[in-house]
Amino acid sequence: MDPAGNSDEILTEAILGLGEPLVSGNLSPDAYSVSRQDLKIVRRGLVTQPWLLTRNGNRSGSREILIPKSRQNMQKLSDKQAIALAEMGLRLENHYGRPQDVEWAFVGDRLNILQSRPITTTQAPDASPNEGLETLNALVSGASASPGIGPEQFG
């Protein structure tokens, strides 16, 4: 499911290379939303990825390498892969009995599941009235990661 938005959609985020920069937030990922009902892609959010993290040859650790300009804007997952991941997400949800936060990796065409854990916090899309906001000067915009109407705001 999408933990910060529509619970009828399955959200998948993807980058090229190892996954650590996705977890830390150092790289912004492609985002694919797939409908839970018919497993069709509802939305693709594609981003430019300037570098990737890879294994450091035969030595331990990892290293960053630059991605050629011509490949920086490519779609990270094929539609087929995005749908296969959504299907896998549903299988894991059925197995564990609740929505899952899944870490995975494609090596070639082979899908590997690395970790699956329950989604413990979700927030419905913010339905609060925002009258007057449009009169303000918009400064920056980005991806909604949390509407922020959790229990803290209601004391």
Partner 1 sequence: MLKGDILVTEITTPDFVPAMKRAAAIVTDRGGRTCHAAIVSREMGLPCIVDTIDGTTKLRDIPVATVDGGAGEVYEGDHQTKLVPQVIEIPTDANLTTKTKLYVNLADPDSAQRVAAMCVDGVGLLRVEFMIAQLGEYPRSMLESGRA
Q: Which residues bind partner 1 (CB under 8 A)?
A: 2-4, 7, 11, 13, 22-29, 31, 47, 97-98, 101, 119-130, 132-133, 136-154
Question: Which residue number, 59 or 125, has a Cβ lying nearer to partner 1?
Answer: 125
CB of 110 to partner 1, least distance (A): 22
Q: Amino acid letter at 153?
A: Q
Question: Which residue number, 58 or 121, has a Cβ lying nearer to partner 1?
Answer: 121
Question: Which residue number, 78 or 144, has a Cβ lying nearer to partner 1?
Answer: 144
Question: Which residue number, 76 or 84, has a Cβ lying nearer to partner 1?
Answer: 76
Backbone angles phi, psi at 106, to 5 degrees: -90, 130
Residue 8 near residue 35 (C-beta atoms within 8 A): yes
For residue 26, what is the DSSP state? S
CB of 58 to partner 1, least distance (A): 29
Q: How far apart are CA 117 and CA 22, in angstroms?
A: 17
CB of 147 to partner 1, least distance (A): 4
Would you call 76 helix, strand, or coil by DSSP?
coil
- Which residue do the tokens 């980005």 mark? 142
For residue 22, what is the DSSP state? H
CB of 40 to partner 1, least distance (A): 20
CA 146 to chain centre: 13
